[in-house]
Structure 1
Amino acid sequence: MHRPALIHCSLLFGMLLPLAAGAAELYRYVDDQGITVLSRQGVPPEFIAKGYEVLNEQGRVIQVVPPAPSAAERRRLLADKARAGSDAQLLRLYSGPEDVDRALERKLAELDALIGVARGNLQSARTQQGNLQSQAAEHERAGRAVPEHLLAQIGNQLAEQQRLQQDIARYQEARQQARASFAADRARLSELLGARP
């Protein structure tokens, strides 16, 4: 054999050797009957989720693929991730519990202002409704039919009052939710800051 051909064969053999070594890997997994199986073909798809090990040609474990998490574990992992994100946001927003208290005061003041405006508008709508009803009463006392536009305006004022009352109730509910939410944030922040070294 000529020397260049020999070098060529040696190079080819050297390139194929790692492939042969890779082909010598074994896969160890547990089947449905609980029997440990060693296979050169790989792990069947239905057993991959249970986890498996990859062994080299000497039988040493070179890689461990852990079992896939259960549905409960996935939910717990997602909840832990969400909690970590929430905790990080709390620590970015507030340097201490007193910051949470100040933020709550600002939120309550904002909601109180909205309630005040809604109550003022409600009183105004009631006054307008009273004036319109007085006009309607004058028409009735005079023996005339109450004009349609006047009845429509009274209806509009009643609807406006109902809407404003719903707004006030919504703002009051938001006040309660804000108190609960900020109290939870304050407690968690105190817990996080207390846990710091």
Structure 2
Amino acid sequence: MRLLHYLSCFLYFCVLLSGIAAADQDTKRWYRYTDDNHLTILSDTLNSDAMQHGYEILDTHLEVIQTVPPPPDAHQRQLIEQKKQQLSDLRYLQKMYGTPADARQQMANRLNALQASLDIQKTSAERAHEDRETDAERAANFERSGHTPPHDLLQRIQDDNRRILNIQHQSQDIENQMKTVKSQFDGIISKLEAAEKAHITNDARSSPIPASSE
């Protein structure tokens, strides 16, 4: 009777061990990758060489469960960082200028303000030219009558010339500013339009920046 009990226990442990072995077999994984010599390597352990090249995880039937790509190389990491920076720059522009329509309105406001300053300079230039013509005519009258023009009159003519030259420089500076503003805003608006088409918003949850076509 005791012998029968021992045999029953032995059979129970055999079945238990068999079940554990089968379970271990079902959960066993294989790793397959291609090395630098283009040889396919199959291993039951994951090593650094596999992680470097990228690998496939296989089950006991050698069916692919998962594919793990290799880590990005230096060039790929640089591209990733560039795209992250581009996305950060786009979101900064969106924070500063809003939508393309908002940016166009800001550009118009800046250009209108500069145009108003330019109009003032043009009015000042017209007045300065008139003053110089008047003073020059008076000096010519003195010379025609055989008299030397007064010193203060000659000084005013020199002042008129300096004032006209200064106005010309200021007007040119304003025109250059207008060109710069237009060029800068054209670039900003173009980027905002591209972000809008790609559904990129000033939100960390928004879509990633699209890949470059280069």
State the TM-score bracket (shorter-chain normalisation).
Answer: 0.5 to 0.7
Identity %: 18
Structure 1 position 193 matched with structure 2 position 202: no
CA drift of 1:121 comes to 0.1
- Which runs of structure 2 are paired with 1:99-118 in the superposition (5 Å)? 99-118=102-121
Structure 1 residue 99: deviation in Å?
0.6
CA distance in 1, matches of 2:108, 2:96: 15
TM-score for the superposition, normalised by structure 2: 0.51
Mark the CA change 1:124 to 1:83 in structure 2 (over 3 Å): closer, same or farther: farther
Q: What residue in structure 2 maps to residue 54 of structure 1?
A: none
- Residue 158 of structure 1 corresponds to 161
The match for 2:187 is: 184
Compared CA separation, residues 135 and 189, structure 1 to 2 (3 A)? same
Unaligned runs of 5+ in 1: 1-68
Q: Which of 132, 156, 159 is the aligned partner of 2:135?
A: 132
> Bigger radius of gyration, 1 or 2?
2
Provide the rounded CA distance (Å) in 2 between the counterparts of 1:169 and 1:121.
Answer: 14
Q: Give the counterpart letter for 1:126 in structure 2.
A: H
How many positions carry a matched residue from both structures? 130
Q: 1:161 to 1:82 in 2, by over 3 A?
A: farther
Q: Deviations over 1:63-83 (max 9, x none)?
A: xxxxxx9xxx7xxx7x87875
Q: Closer, same or farther in 2 for the Cα pair 1:153/1:90, shift >3 Å?
A: same
Residues 110 and 144 from structure 1, CA distance in 2 versus in 1: closer, same or farther, beyond 3 angstroms? same
Q: Deviations over 1:125-161 (max 9, x none)?
A: 0011011112111211221111222111101111111
Alignment correspondent of 1:53: none
Matches within 5 A, 1:13-28: none
Match in the other structure for 1:169 = 172
- TM normalised by structure 1 equals 0.56
Aligned equivalents of 1:82, 1:145: Cα separation in 2:
71
Q: Which amino acid aligns with 2:146?
A: G
Amino acid at match of 2:193: S
- Report the aligned-residue RMSD: 3.1
